[in-house]
Amino acid sequence: MMTVDLDQTPRSLLVFDRSSFLDEKNRISSQVEQHHFNYKVSVLLPECSSAPSHLDSVLNSFKSFYLIRNMPIYELLDKHFLETAAYKGSVYGLSYRTRVDEDNCVALMPNGRLCLSLDKDSFQVLGVEGKPSRFNHRTNSRYVVSVDLTHSSMAPGGRGYVRLLTGLRSRLHLKTDFLLSHHPGGGASLQALLSRYDWSEHRPEIRSRVLTQLSCPALLTSDLQSSDPHSFLEWLGAVDADASRENSSSSFLSSLVCPEPSTTLNQALSVSVCGLLLPQDIHRLIQEIRRHLEHHLESWASLTVHGFVDSPVSWGDSEHGVMRGGENFYSLLMFHDHTYHLHQATGAHDTCPP
């Protein structure tokens, strides 16, 4: 008789890095840069009741982004768009309201790489070279087409370019809502593309709240070797979700408590920004938080960056998918002495973070 193992859960990975910003071998810059598509950044600052002015200005200077409704994807191969935006780099694009486990998803990366995550029918209709997804189970139901737009074979007029353009224009009429980042060269380079469709510009949404009498793990005094990254991340999630963290052991509803040893903070500031956020803006935010910590002895700050659930890539070119969840986030805990703890987490349909 076959027994079903009910204890199994899908594979998840948590990478815990401990290093210092002053160590020249630290890879934090590349780890932040490679995470192209960021949806939400949330910052937790202890003993703060309002955002310091420098931090506020950095948050408000996060670049805005465009939403183009019902854009045919062959527009990303338009000669003018390629020359003015894609070849120059630093343009991020992602299809909006498409689910990577059900629909066709498109991502444009700043290095000029276009990634299409397609279901089997769409892939066969498109007729372009691609690979089956790494995370197919038994039968190939999803395919990934990854094209380097800066490569010589993809120059306008080249064979690869014509084949992809014909595929997207005449065979597979792929149209999605598309999020496009603001190009550093100015809006003029994107105006030609935007003028042809219904578009709107959006600013990242900033929300902040002040928490009082917050019990938090004693991060500065406890033995950091033995601290469990999972319980710290759980506490951070409970603060972000505003779940109750003071529960007696006899409580019927919940037994979630702050990890021991713990202290109480009089107040703390939680700020979150949502939208299509660029790694460069996040990098500036990290540097600003480090400057803030230099003036506050015996302090720490936490920054969590969530990736898009429906992005076809997570870090760099690594394929990303959704099995039961599409988490791909990292959480950076910074200390006054320039050391940091980096937690990177992914789900079942992801490779190991860098």
Residues in touch with another protein (CB under 8 A):
6-9, 11-20, 23, 25-26, 39-40, 42, 67, 96, 99, 200, 202, 229-230, 233-234, 236-238, 240-244, 252-256, 274-275, 304, 306-310, 324-325, 327, 329, 331, 339, 345, 347, 352
Q: Among 11, 32, 92, 22, which Cα is nearest to 330's?
A: 32
Give min distance, CB of 25 to another protein, in A.
7
> Strands 38-46 and 105-108, how do they pair?
unpaired
Nearer to another protein, 119 or 240 (CB): 240
Tell me the closest approach of the beta carbon of residue 90 to another protein, in angstroms: 21
CB of 308 to another protein, least distance (A): 4
**Closest separation in Å from C-beta 307 to another protein:** 8
- Residue number, 67 or 155, with CB nearest to another protein: 67
Task: Answer yes or no: are the C-beta atoms of 245 and 211 closer than 8 Å.
Answer: no
Q: What DSSP string runs through 246-305?
A: ---TT-SS----PPSSEEEEEEEEEEEEEEEE-HHHHHHHHHHHHHHHHTSTT-EEEEEE
Within 8 A by CB and 6+ apart from 172, the residues are 122, 125, 126
Q: Rank residues 105 and 116 by Cβ distance to another protein and give the closer one.
A: 105
Name, in order, each residue with C-beta under 8 angstroms of 18's C-beta and a sequence gap of 6 or more: 224, 339, 340, 341, 342
3-state secondary structure at position 28: helix
Nearest approach, Cβ of 153 to another protein (angstroms)? 33
Q: Residue 146 or residue 328: which is nearer to another protein going by CB?
A: 328
Q: How far apart are CA 72 and CA 214, in angstroms?
A: 49
Tokens, residue 336: 């006054």
Compute the distance between CA of residue 41 and CA of residue 210 in angstroms, rounded to an integer: 17
Q: Are 95 and 178 in contact (CB under 8 A)?
A: yes
In whole angstroms, how close is the CB of 164 to another protein at the nearest point?
27
Could you give the angle at the alpha carbon of 219 between the alpha carbons of 221 and 307, nearest 5°?
165
Taking the complex as a whole, the smallest distance from the CB of residue 254 to another protein amounts, in Å, to 4
Q: Which is nearer to another protein, 38 or 84 (CB)?
A: 38
For residue 189, which phi and psi values (nearest 5 degrees)? -70, -25
Least distance CB 208 / another protein (angstroms)? 15
CA 92 from chain centre, in angstroms, equals 12
